Structures are given as C-alpha cells and as structure tokens.
C-alpha cells in the first residue's frame, strides 16, 4: 500500500512469489506449473476459482465475494469431482476428475449480471 518498489528477491523472501527464473527459463517453468495444475486439479474447481478471483476483485463489498464463494463451496463440495478427490487421496492414487467445463459448472454460474454496453462519446 505504500507504493514502495522492491525487487524479485524480496518478493520471494516475503512469499509473494513462489520462484524466480532467468528470462530463458521462465516459459518452461510456467508451462510446468500449468501442467501440474492441469494434471492434479479439477477443471471445474480451477475454472470457478479463476472466475471468483477475477470477478470478485471488483465487488462492491467483501461480503459479495464471501456469498458467492460459500455458495460455490457448498455446491462443488457435493460433486463427483469432490468425491473423486477424497477417494484418490485415501487410495493414494492420481485423481481422475470426471467434471468438464463448461458442462459441469454449478447451475448458478455465471452469477454476475451482464453489464450494459454503451459506446464512449
């Protein structure tokens, strides 16, 4: 909030970033992280999390984000993906999430109203 500029090493030390990479290693590292996410997480959960993060950044009150997140947790917690996540953990095997985007997104998705578009003068 102070606007102070700090370097990458300080960001790493503070836990604001997970790793640092030279420019020529950045894309391979990003692709490896993306592969890890794709192979180990539910596509439905990732999709909902991305929407929650992006859409709720502009919410007019923190309670709006809390309400939508609580609803998403309640709905997604009862899905086949949630069941598969628990079973795969208990059985110590890789998960095979059955949920597909957009077919298996919660029925309240999208939760935001379309904003009217009007051309700038």
Compute the distance between CA of residue 46 and CA of residue 42 in angstroms, rounded to an integer: 6
Question: Is the whole-model pTM more than 0.75?
Answer: yes
pLDDT tens-digit series, residues 10-53: 999 999 999 999 999 999 999 999 999 999 999 999 999 999 99
Q: What percentage of the chain carries pLDDT values higher than 90?
A: 83
Residue 81 and residue 42 in contact, taking contact as beta carbons nearer than 8 Å: yes
């Amino acid at each position: 909030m102070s606007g102070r500029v700090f370097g990458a090493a300080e960001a790493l030390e503070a836990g604001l970033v997970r790793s640092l990479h030279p420019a020529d290693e950045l894309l391979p590292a990003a692709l490896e992280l993306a592969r890890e996410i794709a192979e180990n997480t539910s596509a439905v959960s990732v999709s909902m999390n991305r929407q929650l993060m992006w859409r709720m950044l502009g919410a007019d009150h923190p309670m709006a984000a809390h309400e939508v997140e609580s609803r998403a947790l309640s709905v997604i917690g009862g899905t086949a993906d949630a069941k598969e996540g628990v079973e795969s953990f208990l059985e110590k095997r890789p998960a095979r999430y059955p949920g597909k985007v957009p077919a298996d997104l919660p029925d309240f998705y999208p939760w935001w109203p379309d904003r009217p578009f009007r051309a700038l003068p």
